[in-house]
Amino acid sequence: MTCDAEALGRGRVVIGGGCEIVSCGVPAADTEVAILRLDGSAAAADEVGEIAVHGPAVAAGSWERPAETAEVFAWRSSDGRTWLRTGDLGFMRAGRLYVTGRSKDVIVLRGRNHYPWLGDLRDAEARALRLYEQGKRQQWDATMRLDWEAPVIRA
């Protein structure tokens, strides 16, 4: 399936475009997979969310790690059920799971999600490097502040 990469960056699934995404398949028997928002509510059908798993094959927790167990293995959805937080982001389409990335790999700038594997950060980096190499230091500094929203370290 192809999706619009720009829409994925906004957390939306729009079919069509240049970003090829391959399904992981359907959930195993007796296993439920849900796509949840950070608040535990169910994500819309066209929304990227965190992949959560529930079923008899899911462990009860991490051995002698109660804090990690509470965070990862006992995530409560808005309907009160507990789920395993996978840390993966994705969506379901026609009963099939599509993984779009890892929640720890997503860089959020100005409310927009940037997935390193989509290459959108490389475009900003390349543009800033071209300006720097052309000796346009002031424009480079401004570009870095605009694109990365991070302090610029000057030598």
Cα distances from 103 to residues 75, 76, 89, 94, 127, in angstroms, run 15, 18, 6, 23, 26
| Mean pLDDT on 35-63 | 93
Which spans in 2-136 are helix H?
A: 5-9, 66-68, 120-133
pLDDT band for 37, please (50, 70, 90 cuts): very high
Give me the mean pLDDT over the 65-81 stretch: 90
Per residue in 108-118, pLDDT (tens digit) is 666 666 666 55
Domain boundaries, the chain: 2-106, 119-155
- Helix, strand or coil, per DSSP, at residue 105: helix
Q: Which of 96, 90, 107, 125 is nearest to 11 (CA)?
A: 90
What pLDDT is attached to residue 146?
44
Separation of first and last alpha carbons in the chain: 46
Q: What is the mean pLDDT of the chain?
A: 79
May I ask the CATH architecture of the domain 2-106? Roll (2.30)
